[in-house]
Amino acid sequence: MLCMLLPALATGCSAPAHDDTLVTQSVPAPTAAEQNAVWKAAQNVLRAHQFRLDRVDRRAGVITTDPQTSQHAFELWRKDVATRYDFLEATLRTVRRSVRVTIAPRDGTDEITVEVHKEFYSTPERQFNSSIATMRMFGNELPRADTGERITDADSKWIDAGRDPAMERYLLDQIVARAHDAT
């Protein structure tokens, strides 16, 4: 029975197919009020998903967010991952995402493009020489496992993991739905 259950549980855990094409959608916005609704919808969706707005530049048609550490298994109130794979990945490793929304007016519509960039946190492995050392695991007190040298903040870095198309589509759908509801 267990042998039959394990494959069934593992089926949603494979990495989603990676598509590099940008997702874009047009929203009718011939009036200033409708254009304002699109801008408000984009900002409200990003805030609702716990992204902190970094830049809102209406002239350039750009909204960007600060990088935000993604939801893990103990943060059920958050919703900043789009798939089960991303949820499990963010639970097992430190992942952060940042968003760039571009809104370009074109012939009575607003063309909305969403880009979500994902990064992984990388830090050297630490040398554990006693059970009490686990209490100091996240500090800089334990030496590196490979060289035995002291770990500094410069040894840790964020590694670019590319775009997150599933989250891009999810956020875009949310923005378009809120813009339609507002008009």
- Per-residue pLDDT 10s for the chain (183 aa) are 555 544 545 555 555 555 567 778 888 878 888 899 999 999 999 999 999 999 999 999 999 999 999 988 888 888 888 889 999 998 899 999 999 999 998 888 889 999 999 999 987 766 666 666 666 666 666 666 667 677 777 778 899 999 999 999 999 999 999 998 876
- Structural domain includes residue 152: no
Distance between CA atoms of residues 171 and 46, nearest Å? 8
Q: What is the pLDDT of residue 5?
A: 45
- Structural domain includes residue 141: no
Q: Is the separation of the CB atoms in 158 and 120 below 8 Å?
A: yes
- Structural domain includes residue 87: yes
| Helix segments in the chain, DSSP class H | 2-10, 32-48, 84-92, 165-182
- Structural domain includes residue 15: no
The tokens describing 139, both together, are 């500090």
Q: What is the pLDDT of residue 119?
A: 96
- Structural domain includes residue 135: no
- Structural domain includes residue 44: yes
- Structural domain includes residue 12: no
Count of domains in the chain? 1
- Structural domain includes residue 3: no
**What CATH number corresponds to the domain at position 102?**
3.30.530.50
Residue 164's domain comprises 23-127+160-182
